[in-house]
Amino acid sequence: MPKVIIVGGVAGGATTAAQLRRIDPDIDITIYEKGRDISYGNCGLPYHIGGEVAERDQLIAATPESFLERDIIVKTHHQVIGVDAGSKTIQVKDVLNGGTFEAEYDYLVLSPGGAPRTIPTLLDVPQAFVLHSLEHLDEIKAHIENKNIERAVVVGGGYIGLEMVENLVRRGIRVTLVHRAENLYHPLESDMSGFIADELEAKGVDVKLNAEILDVDGDIATLSTGEEIDAPMIVAGIGITPRTDFLKDSDVAMNDAGYVCVDQYGRTNHEEIYAVGDAIETSYQHVDRPVNVALAWSAHRMAYVISNQISGDKTAHFEGLLGTNIIRFFDYDIATLGLEISELKEYPHFVIDHKQKNKAGYMADSVPIHVRLHVAQSDGKILRAAVVGTEGVDKRIDVLSAHIRLGGTAMDLANIEVAYSPPYSSPKSVLNMVGYKTMEKMNRLKDG
Amino acid sequence: MPKVIIVGGVAGGATTAAQLRRIDPDIDITIYEKGRDISYGNCGLPYHIGGEVAERDQLIAATPESFLERDIIVKTHHQVIGVDAGSKTIQVKDVLNGGTFEAEYDYLVLSPGGAPRTIPTLLDVPQAFVLHSLEHLDEIKAHIENKNIERAVVVGGGYIGLEMVENLVRRGIRVTLVHRAENLYHPLESDMSGFIADELEAKGVDVKLNAEILDVDGDIATLSTGEEIDAPMIVAGIGITPRTDFLKDSDVAMNDAGYVCVDQYGRTNHEEIYAVGDAIETSYQHVDRPVNVALAWSAHRMAYVISNQISGDKTAHFEGLLGTNIIRFFDYDIATLGLEISELKEYPHFVIDHKQKNKAGYMADSVPIHVRLHVAQSDGKILRAAVVGTEGVDKRIDVLSAHIRLGGTAMDLANIEVAYSPPYSSPKSVLNMVGYKTMEKMNRLKDG
């Protein structure tokens, strides 16, 4: 009976274990998780602070006990500190009790995830938090309740920061957002993101742009602008780094940024070692280019692929990523897919920009949707898409994703047969119109 | 300069005229419309009664005057009563002033649309209406206002009837729905449509199933059940028939039901005669089978194809229809695509039935979505899909439509990379799970 060891028990790791057990009732599965908990809804953590997830325990999909019932052994507080691919062993540290031991595997699945970044200034500040685990959530909630927190500082204007801001505001906490750059939410084109600052102002959030926290003294933080602000709670939401330090003495191949490189089967450079989740580098689906993005969809898909590979069904594979993503920011939905803005310059392309009502324009509650495509000049391939609005954005990005995946071009969007009725679309939908616009643009380019 | 005559000035006809002018500034365009108005949002009519379209005139996209500014001649109250394809002439009746005349064309575009059906009992009943034109809307509104209507009867539980019920209820009118069959909304699988009766009850609508109006005396209607009901206003919403009587002495090819048959270029059996809109028979996109459905999306798409064909761009073509459609019924969205239920029996298939929350299940406002696919046994092709729920249905049907159009199978739904964040989806979305379920089903079929 092959022995499978899984490093990391959250999204990718837990899903791989569950799926593997589903396929194979007998295979030997052990999960080592450095933290206290496994299999919780990481992406849902902020929404419990805001109250949309009513009960904390709703975020927990499985426990070591529930996994044991399915004959999956889970060792929490057990940190894997080394991998020896030659002898097929790992070194494990028992975090609570001390001591290390070795364990042998036939298949190893790496799902270490990312470590939340913070800033050195905040390292020893007792009221500074990150939110990346259930433990973090419990700490933050305890702090809010014990200290009766009414004001908070959020550091970082990316997706983690914005979700944090929204949920603290929903909880009734007055928020100051400190962001070190000029533009908020850098995954979105800066000339499309002006509404974020407006929305922050409308919700009473103090925004400090081009600012960093230089020092914290008691409950007062001093910014690089010289300003002092109330900071009885600080949450840093400035991204993650792959938690792959433990692999540095192994010869598991990683890219320069420390992401584990995998192929379409989730395999590393070692036949028996797979990797999944936020710490991997895979490829784009639509262009030949490596990518590492921390997205739950791909973790779940890769977990499926890996569990099938290990259990002997070699047909399952990972097609690569479009990087389809969305965040809600108060009334707005912000979605993108495809190449990052910084990657576009290597691809000759033109831009199609389009605004149209989400439903029949005569409906009283119709609202505009803004779509921007970056389209390859040679063949009309959609390299990148951004969609922003207050309703129906998720529909348009998902349709784009399905369309691009099967080879649909920007021109071909004209042919998508949408479900039309006045409450849902125009007869020529937002995406149809983008298709027609692209056809005209392509014809102009051809003509001269 | 070629002379184009368009028969019918609503959706298909008006759109063809506008697009043709856009492509060709010089081509000679005349529209004959038997009614009073052109280019109004037919699908939006009920929503003005309900108040979601605030102003009646918002429903009007173009007028004879605005078309004249673009050098498109519009003759309203002019009914085309005959076509002679040999001499390329039509016979036109001047409805208001009497008299008929001939007009010559180089290209003829038929967009006569459908005539709303009613029942013989209602023909001479002054308070009986249909709602298929702006004239009808004006009549209904005048009746409601002049007679201070507080109760109404809607005949027909199909999409027209249900939209009518909803909008009358929104206006504060107490409605009795008379439906001649047992099941409401026959385009949907009867075992999925139980919520419609519940919703009607919740909104205070009196529902009379298996019933017809046999007689109307003053404001009292007698049903086939013997029951007498208050009927100071009656609206029949029982479908349309193609308005193609005027073609019966022409040799323009029609099917048995009177729909004009067209090819992928919108062309009839005559090179110079095209047809568009609710009165045409075209083909399904995903299976080789004729279909006639009255959908605005296809009218707009076909108008684009025809105008390009006439103006010399022969590349544009109509791919066929999936019949993707949706209606809102109070809190519910009801969407289907593909074959009608009655057509399925000719195709060996199995059913995949799936219910899942529209977003992360731990979100307080997550609601279930019900998806049913009819999947071809041989290759996993999606023959038909039905989606029902109270949120996110339009997204799923549009993704399915885009997916099927480009050859995606039911199994392949597992690979669609959805935009995941807790407010929008699960990491394994509703459609992903349907894909995984289909794979399992296919494997079981193979194994045994």
Looking at chain A, the domain(s) classified CATH 3.30.390.30 span: 334-447
- CB < 8 Å to A361, chain B: 58
Question: Is A315 strand, coil or helix?
Answer: coil
Residue A102: what are its φ and ψ, rounded to 5°? -105, 150
* pLDDT for B112 beyond 80: yes
What is the secondary structure of B226-271 as a DSSP string?
Answer: S-EEE-SSEEE---EEE--GGGTTS---B-TTSPEE--TTSB-SST
Contact call for residues B238 and B162 (beta carbons, < 8 A): no
**Which of A324, A407, A421 shows the shortest C-beta gap to B419?**
A324
- Residue A1 pLDDT grade (very low, low, confident, very high; cuts 50, 70, 90): confident
Cα distance between residue A49 and residue A138, in whole Å: 10
Residue B294 · residue B12 · CB < 8 Å: no
Q: DSSP assignment of A73-106, as one string?
A: EEEETEEEEEEETTTTEEEEEETTT--EEEEE-S
Q: What is the pLDDT of residue A293?
A: 85
* Sole residue written with tokens 């990491």: B427
Contact B156, B238 (CB under 8 A): yes
User: For residue A253, what are its two tokens?
Assistant: 């191949």
Q: According to the model, what pLDDT value does residue B446 have?
A: 87
User: Which CATH superfamily does the domain covering A334-447 fall into?
Assistant: FAD/NAD-linked reductase, C-terminal dimerisation domain (3.30.390.30)
| CA separation for the pair B20, B36 (Å, rounded) | 23
Dihedral (CA of B80, B114, B86, B270) sign: positive
Considering only CB atoms, A41 lies closest to which of B362, B407, B428, namely B362
Residue A42 vs residues A38, A334, A432, B354: alpha-carbon distances, Å:
10, 20, 36, 25
CB-based contact (8 Å) between B328 and chain A? yes
B328 and A423 within 8 Å at the Cβ level: the answer is: yes
- Contact with chain A for residue B41, Cβ under 8 A: yes
For B:350-379, CB contacts with A below 8 A are: 360-365
In chain B, list all ranges with CATH 3.50.50.60: 3-113+241-310, 118-236
Tokens of A69: 């019932």
Query: Quick one: pLDDT at residue B293?
Result: 85
The mean per-residue pLDDT over the stretch B211-234 comes to 97
pLDDT value at residue A366: 98
Q: Do B405 and A415 touch (CB under 8 A)?
A: yes
B422–A41: do the CB atoms touch at under 8 Å? yes
pLDDT in tens, B408-441: 999 999 999 999 999 999 999 999 999 999 999 9
Nearest chain A residue to B44 by CA distance is A422
Contact yes or no for B154/B178 (Cβ under 8 A): yes
Q: Cβ–Cβ of A44/B394 closer than 8 Å?
A: no
* pLDDT band per the 50, 70, 90 thresholds, residue A446: confident
Q: For the segment B23-43, what is each residue's pLDDT rounded down to a tens digit?
A: 999 999 999 999 999 999 999
Token pair 């099927």 is found at B404
The share of chain A scoring above pLDDT 70, in percent, equals 100
CATH number of B118-236: 3.50.50.60
Give domain B3-113+241-310's CATH number out of 3.20.10.10, 3.90.230.10, 3.20.20.140, 3.50.50.60: 3.50.50.60
**CB A325 to CB B419 under 8 A?**
yes
pLDDT score, position B251: 94
Respond yes or no: is residue B261 known to be catalytic.
Answer: no
- At residue B118, the pLDDT reads 84
Q: Cα separation of A161 and A238, whole Å?
A: 7
Which of A:267-306 have CB within 8 Å of B?
285, 295-301, 304
CA distances from A195 to A200, A389, B45, B49 (A): 8, 10, 34, 34
Please say if the pLDDT value at position A448 is more than 80.
Answer: no
- Options B22, B43, B70, B138, the catalytic residue: B43
Task: Select from A397, A404, A401 the least CA-distant residue to A369.
Answer: A397
Residues B119-124: what's their mean pLDDT? 93
Spell out which residues of chain A touch residue B322, defining contact as CB-CB under 8 Å: 417
Question: How many Cβ atoms are within 10 Å of B344's Cβ, its own excluded?
Answer: 15
Please give the structure tokens belonging to residue B89.
């002439």
Q: Does B337 touch chain A (CB under 8 A)?
A: yes
Rounded to the nearest 10 degrees, how much is the dihedral formed by the CA atoms of B178, B184, B187, B188?
Answer: 170
Please, where in chain A does CATH 3.50.50.60 lie? 3-114+241-310, 118-236
In this predicted structure, the answer to whether residue A291 has a pLDDT above a threshold of 80 is yes
Q: A280-283 and A260-261: which strand pairing?
A: parallel
- Which tens digits make up the pLDDT trace of A116-151? 998 899 999 999 999 999 999 999 999 999 999 999
Closest CA to B441 of B382, B393, B396, B386: B382
d(CA B16, CA B61): 14
Averaged pLDDT for residues A230-239: 96
Query: In Å, how far are A162, A309, A391, B412 from A395, measured between CA atoms?
Result: 22, 32, 9, 19
Per-residue model confidence (pLDDT) at position B289: 97
CATH architecture of the domain with residue range B325-447:
2-Layer Sandwich (3.30)
- Residue B87 has what pLDDT? 97
pLDDT tens track for B281-334: 999 999 999 999 889 999 999 999 999 999 998 999 999 999 999 999 999 999
Chain A residues inside the 8 Å CB shell of B425: 394
| Strand-pair partners of A273 | A108
Q: Which residues 6+ apart lie within 8 Å of B96 measured at CB?
A: B77
Name the residue with tokens 């399904």: B284
pLDDT at residue B1, as a whole number? 84
Considering the domain delimited by A3-114+241-310, tell me its CATH architecture. Answer: 3-Layer(bba) Sandwich (3.50)
DSSP code, position B362: T
User: What per-residue confidence (pLDDT) applies to A356?
Assistant: 98
Do the chains contact at B407 and A405, CB–CB below 8 Å? no
Q: Which of A22, A36, A43, A377 is catalytic?
A: A43
Quick one: which of A213, A44, A37, A49 has its CA closest to A144?
A49
Instruction: Point out the residue among B298, B299, B364 whose CB comes nearest to the CB of A53.
Output: B364
d(CA B123, CA B142): 19
As a whole number, the mean pLDDT across chain A is: 97
Domain with CATH 3.30.390.30 in chain B: 325-447
Which among A47, A335, A392 is the nearest to B419, CB-wise?
A335
* Per-residue pLDDT tens over the stretch A166-214: 999 999 999 999 999 999 999 999 999 999 999 999 999 999 999 999 9
Per-residue tokens: B118: 């009613």
Write the pLDDT tens digit of every residue in B351-396.
999 999 999 999 999 999 999 999 999 999 999 999 999 999 999 9
pLDDT for position A447: 82
Q: Is B372 helix (H, G, I), strand (E, B) or coil?
A: strand
Question: Tell me, what's the ipTM?
Answer: 0.97
Q: Which DSSP state fits A420?
A: B
B135-175 pLDDT tens trace: 999 999 999 999 999 999 999 999 999 999 999 999 999 99
**Comparison of pLDDT for A339 and A293, the residue scoring more:** A339
Closest CA to A28 of A92, A106, A111: A106
Looking at residue B114, its pLDDT comes to: 95
